[in-house]
Amino acid sequence: MSVGLGILFDGLAYGMLLFLISIGLSVTMGLMGFVNLAHGAFAMFGGYLATVLMQQAGWPFLATLPAAFVVVALASVLVERVLYRRLYRRGPLDQVLFTIGLTFMAVAGITWIFGPSQQPVVLPDFLQGQTRVMGLDFGIYRLFLIAVGVAVTAAVVLGIERTRFGAMVRAAVDNPIMATGLGINVGGVFAVAFALGSGLAGLGGALGIQILGLDPSFPLKYLVFFLIVVSVGGLGSVSGTLLAACLVGVFDVFGKYYLPQVGAFIIYAVMVGLLMWRPNGLLGKRA
Amino acid sequence: MVIKSKLAMALACASAVGFGAASVTAHAADDTLRIGVIASYSGPYADYGKQFDNGIAIWLKEHGGKLAGRKVEIIKKDTAGAAPDLAKRFAQELVVRNKVNFLAGIDFSPNAYAVGAVAAEAKIPTIVMNAASSAITTRSPYVARTSFTVQQVSAPMAQWALKNGIKEVYTVVADYASGVDAESAFKKAFTAGGGKIVNSVRTPMNNPDFSAYVQRIKDDKPQAVFIFFPSGVQPPAFLKAFKERGLEEAGIKLIATGEATDDSYLDATGDVALGLVTSHHYSYAHASPKNQKFIKDFSTQFGDKLRPSYFAVAAYDGMAALDAALAKTKGDVNGDKVMEALKGVSFESPRGPIAIDPATRDIVQTVYIRRVEKVNGKLVNVEFDQFEKVKDPEKEAP
């Protein structure tokens, strides 16, 4: 029983991390209809920014997290305005080719600047080790991940449900033509949404170094995980993405624990099963 | 139009990343020895090629840029990782177009098999400077190896563990050819000495998070865990999880092969590696004058950013072995004669005494047991026990 609880906890923490990195992809693909396979590159950018700030500028780890969010969000606005905007009306094949090309360029650029090897990151002492709560060992960093994940989820859900900007996003998604008619700047709204999603990817990249590691192959290595989360969750759905990320995280950890010989492949089986049951994802809005 | 040209540029860059720019140099004067080096110079394994280059360069500088009294031209080809098709094509190009006298380098085993086939056909002596799959030298009579085999360093770890009171081991290896080799060599040596393997797990390549595997180990409470992962990303990930979950405090010992504490990645791995006992054929901290000189030359020529690893040493020794063989043939570069001369070559390497086994053309060397310690603020593998004249156990009589 207690073993199961511990694994559930680990899986949820892993899921939260996947959620933070994937939610932006769900936004771009689901809301804006743009196949942004370079999403992982934004996450990687956040990770490298955090390591540079820590190693060269001597920033504390916690201070690098908001910086990763803000800088990646701003950079993504630039990328969106200069490059992505031209491709909104093109077919998915053009978008896929372009963003994959962009990913390769990011990989090559990072290799050129930082070299091909893994970046070392040392967490502050208070985030390391385990703590014992009611006879169970919990990783402190994982507790921290869950806390950040819950906070971000709350902020995103409230932001979309309760704010004027959220209402504009929902309107622009549901009926872009009508929204334009009502005077909403659909392009601008999407640009901001894209920036927020990319910023979250940057934050996830910085948070994930400890668990996922960080080297130039990051965007290609984890692309498949982001795509699984987004497709299982359903495009454009925050709660769907969260649910899918937690499911993937928990199944992955359960599989590796109870069936270590085949465990890592269980998430693929889960993905296939769920998509057969609900082809649009768990809480997807459109096909 | 603009977008199309941008896309074309992006794709061009992407394909350059994928395949690397192969350097083609004009033929040099006739008395120059041409060596084709096939390795990874781009992508996640770009450091491998750099280590080879540096090792070769140090040997050449030490010997006035000459091998067997002749000038040397190095022609590099980039496979950017495990890519046997590419390695084969490069080997063919090097033989046919560049007319190389020798092939060398080769970081990945699948590439070595592919190059070995070309070498056998063209009768070009080939020095494997890393690829560690046991059968490489048995598949092609024109291949000799100056690196190691996975089995050669895994089996001594099992013997050392038995000698030090470890009776039950849980093995965790990366699920690819070398991981399976390490697992079976360790198992064989460990059970032959009366030890018991309690569980064996193979984890997928590119596994990001080891916490579930490590938690399982913690709950199963084995006496010790043996791990094998390729150098680079996975060992630190495993070590982090091992430390975070408090397995050390739970009394579970961890042993590994030297890939886990690869000198060139040890700084990035950090303090989680402290105290880890590993078996390998080369340590940066090997306390011999030859090695002191080697690492000093390395840092004066290439800076302190990259630490020489067993790749650089195997490349350096590859040149030394060729030189010794050419001394025997009196400069004759005929493939059969060079291969014959390579057999039985022995000399002092930065890692200690080594020899090329006359029967198998594989390397015979000392395998050291080391512990990660902090010396002068630097993490290094300190050797404290050793097994002498270790041959590849896979090729020993059954």
Per-residue pLDDT of chain A (287 residues; tens, 9 = 90+): 577 888 899 899 999 999 999 988 887 887 777 889 999 999 999 999 999 999 888 899 999 999 999 999 999 999 988 988 888 888 889 999 999 999 999 999 998 898 877 787 778 888 888 887 777 778 889 999 999 999 998 998 888 888 998 888 888 877 888 888 988 888 888 888 889 999 999 999 999 988 888 888 899 988 988 899 988 988 878 888 899 999 999 998 998 888 887 777 888 888 899 888 888 888 866 54
**Both B336 and B235 in a single domain?**
no
A95 near B CB under 8 A: no
Q: Testing the interface with B: which of A3, A89, A114, A118 to mutate, by most B Cβ within 10 A?
A: A118
Q: Is A8 on the interface with B (CB under 8 A)?
A: no
Q: Across the interface, do A222 and B213 touch by the CB < 8 Å criterion?
A: no
Indicate if B311 and B202 belong to the same structural domain.
no
Phi, psi of B311 (to 5 degrees): -65, -50
pTM score: 0.83
Flag whether B21 is in a domain: no
| Residue-range definition of the domain harbouring residue B312 | 32-148+288-361
Closest-CA distance, A118 to chain B, in angstroms, reads: 6
Q: What is the rounded distance in angstroms from the CA atom of residue A129 to the CA atom of residue A38?
A: 34
Residues B47 and B169 in one domain: no
Q: Which residues of B touch A225 (CB under 8 A)?
A: 208
8 Å CB contact of B269 and A120: yes
Tokens of A68: 């990763």
One domain, residues B324 and B254:
no
Helix segments in A35-139, DSSP class H? 39-55, 61-82, 92-114
Identify whether B396 is part of a domain.
no
Same domain, B132 and B159: no
Summarised one tens digit per residue, pLDDT across range B210-264 is 888 999 999 999 999 999 998 878 898 899 889 888 898 899 999 999 999 998 8
**Residue A136 confidence (pLDDT):** 75
Task: Classify residue B56: in a domain, yes or no.
Answer: yes
The C-alpha atoms of residue B342 and residue A274 are separated, in whole angstroms, by: 60
**Are B217 and B328 members of one domain?**
no
In a domain? residue B23 = no
**In terms of CA atoms, which chain A residue is nearest residue B201?**
A261
Q: How far apart are CA A119 and CA B288, in angstroms?
A: 31
- Please list every residue in chain A whose beta carbon sits closer than 8 Å to the beta carbon of residue B244: 128-130, 139, 141
Assess whether B179 and B238 both reside in one domain: yes
CB A107 within 8 A of CB B17: yes
Q: Are residues B229 and B131 in the same domain?
A: no
- pLDDT digit string (tens) for B350-370? 999 999 999 999 999 999 999
Name which of B197, B148, B202 is nearest B314 in CA terms: B148
Does B211 contact A105 at a Cβ distance shorter than 8 Å?
no
The mean predicted confidence, pLDDT, of chain B is 89
Structure tokens at B43: 């992508």
CATH of the domain at B123: 3.40.50.2300
Residues of B in contact with A137 (CB under 8 A): 245-246
Name the domain count of chain B.
Answer: 2
Q: Report percent pLDDT > 70 for chain B.
A: 92
Q: Which DSSP category does B142 fall into?
A: T
Q: How far is CA A117 from CA A218, B22, B242, in A?
A: 11, 22, 21
Mark which residues 244-273 of A lie under 8 Å from B by CB.
252-258, 260-261, 263-265
CA proximity to B315, closest of B130, B119, B153: B130
CA distance B227 to chain A (A): 15
**Largest pairwise CA distance in chain B:** 71
Are both B157 and B130 inside the same structural domain?
A: no
CB-CB contact of A201 with A225 (8 Å): no
Partner B contacted by A14 (CB < 8 A): yes
Position B4 scores a pLDDT of 52
Residue B80 resides in a domain: yes
Assess whether B345 and B237 both reside in one domain: no
Q: What is the ipTM of this complex?
A: 0.81
Query: Letter for the amino acid at A258?
Result: Y
Does B216 share its domain with B324?
no
Contacts of B7 in chain A (CB under 8 A): 94, 97-98, 101
Residue B217: C-alpha distances to residues A200, A257, B85, B250 (Å) = 34, 9, 39, 11
Q: Do B236 and A98 touch (CB under 8 A)?
A: no
Of B14, B211, B233, the CB nearest to A213: B233
Residues B255, B376, single domain; the answer is yes
Q: Give the sign of the dihedral formed by CA B252, CA B257, CA B261, CA B265.
A: negative
Is residue B375 in some structural domain? yes
Pairing between strand B33-39 and B70-78?
parallel
**Option in A111, A258, A260 nearest B46 (CB):** A111
The reply to whether A108 touches chain B by the CB within 8 Å rule is yes
Residues 217 to 246 of A: which have CB under 8 A from any B CB? Answer: 217, 221-222, 225
Cβ-defined contact of A264 to B43 (cutoff 8 Å): no
Residues 45-84 of A with CB under 8 A from B: 83
DSSP symbols for B166-227: --EEEEEEESSHHHHHHHHHHHHHHHHTT-EEEEEEEEPTT----HHHHHHHHHH--SEEEE
